[in-house]
């Protein structure tokens, strides 16, 4: 089975890691669209356009059977359009783990860290409306502009990154938040910094494993036998920090540079 996975950068590799741990007999093609990163600070129309270009490229060049949108922002902006345009394609998106966070919290206080685009998106509001009413919880939402760029530049332990997180997390620490939703696939890469700043018994909710399970379920419904070799090919549209790749995947994997998708699609 051929699976295309994309994100605005390297954060989506946290999802690829989960897929590699769970699935067998798949060939994965990953695109880090770093030329247009970060998506979380772009308009919905721009993100939709990038997402359609990438999907079209995956289908034309790699003949994928399944697409994983390993980005909360792109899922919110593009998943419905992609599903309409490609009804035979398995499409799995990424959404903030509001439901598991609400199930997990003991204090009833849940923090949400996400990009500005995710927090202002319709999909996020629908999730909150649906799940926050089921149990009495207080949500502490925090947009994190600039955090994805810091992570992409390899500045995970950097004083500026720590200062940003300290500023954003201070109200959550004061409120005794015990569960935080990592609403962006990049954010697991700074989870140890978040834990250090919060300095409490903290649950961090990220969605890589849930995405891998969903992909496996949908693939098996189409007759996928979960056995055989794994393949992984990585592509980027711009600069990347290869140390991050090794941190996430446990080994260095080379990237191929793509200049453009040269796709013509109809919105």
Q: Active-site residue 200, yes or no?
A: no
Contact between residue 144 and residue 115 where contact means Cβ atoms under 8 Å apart? yes
**Do 15 and 113 belong together in one domain?**
no
Residue 145, in any domain of the structure: yes
DSSP at 87 = T
Q: Which domain holds residue 244?
A: 2-94+208-257
What pLDDT sits at residue 262? 62
Q: Kindly name the residue from 112, 148, 184, 211 that is annotated as catalytic.
A: 184
- The pTM score is 0.90
**Do 192 and 138 belong together in one domain?**
yes
Q: Active-site residue 144, yes or no?
A: no
Residue 112, in any domain of the structure: yes
Q: Kindly name the residue from 48, 71, 78, 137 that is annotated as catalytic.
A: 71
- In a structure prediction context, what are the per-residue pLDDT tens digits for the chain, which is 267 residues long? 999 999 999 999 999 999 999 999 999 999 999 999 999 889 999 999 999 999 999 999 999 999 999 999 999 999 999 999 999 999 999 999 999 999 999 999 999 999 998 998 888 999 999 898 778 899 999 999 999 999 999 999 999 999 999 999 999 999 999 999 999 999 999 999 999 999 999 999 999 999 999 999 999 999 999 999 999 999 999 989 989 999 999 999 999 999 877 644 443
Residue 191, in any domain of the structure: yes
**Do 232 and 138 belong together in one domain?**
no
Residue 267, in any domain of the structure: no
Return the CATH number at 175: 3.40.50.1860
**Do 28 and 74 belong together in one domain?**
yes
Burial class of residue 264 (count of CB atoms within 10 Å of its CB; 0-12, 13-18, 19+) = exposed
Residue 84, in any domain of the structure: yes
**Do 83 and 111 belong together in one domain?**
no
Residue 266, in any domain of the structure: no
Total structural domains within the chain: 2
Alpha helices in 40-134 (DSSP H): 44-57, 72-85, 98-104, 116-120, 122-131
Angle made by CA atoms 64, 68, 71, in degrees to the nearest 5: 145
What pLDDT sits at residue 132? 81
What pLDDT sits at residue 41? 84
Cα separation, 11 vs 16, in Å, equals 9
Tell which of 186, 205, 224 closes a domain: 205
Cα separation, 68 vs 79, in Å, equals 10
């Amino acid at each position: 089975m051929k699976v295309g996975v994309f994100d605005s950068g390297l954060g989506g590799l946290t999802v690829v890691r989960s897929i590699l741990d769970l699935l067998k007999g798949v060939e994965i093609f990953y695109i880090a669209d770093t030329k247009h990163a970060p998506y979380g600070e772009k308009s919905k129309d721009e993100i939709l356009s990038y997402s359609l270009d990438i999907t079209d490229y995956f289908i034309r060049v790699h003949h994928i059977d399944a697409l994983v949108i390993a980005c909360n922002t792109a899922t919110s902006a593009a998943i419905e359009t992609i599903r309409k345009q490609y009804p035979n394609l398995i499409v799995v998106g990424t959404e903030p783990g509001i439901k598991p966070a609400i199930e997990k919290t003991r204090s009833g206080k849940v923090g949400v860290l996400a990009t500005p685009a995710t927090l202002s998106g319709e999909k996020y509001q629908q999730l909150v409306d649906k799940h926050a009413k089921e149990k009495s919880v207080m949500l502490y939402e925090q947009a994190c502009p600039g955090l994805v760029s810091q992570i992409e530049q390899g500045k995970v332990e950097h004083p500026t990154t720590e200062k940003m997180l300290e500023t954003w997390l201070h109200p959550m620490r004061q409120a005794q938040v015990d569960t935080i939703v990592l609403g962006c696939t990049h954010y697991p890469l700074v989870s140890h910094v978040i834990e250090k700043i919060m300095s409490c018994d903290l649950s961090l909710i990220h969605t890589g494993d849930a995405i891998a399970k969903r992909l496996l379920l949908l693939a098996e419904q189409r007759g996928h036998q979960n056995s055989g070799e794994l393949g992984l090919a990585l592509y980027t549209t711009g600069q990347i920090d290869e140390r991050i790749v090794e941190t996430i995947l446990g080994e260095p994997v080379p990237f191929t540079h793509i200049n453009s998708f040269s796709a013509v699609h109809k919105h």
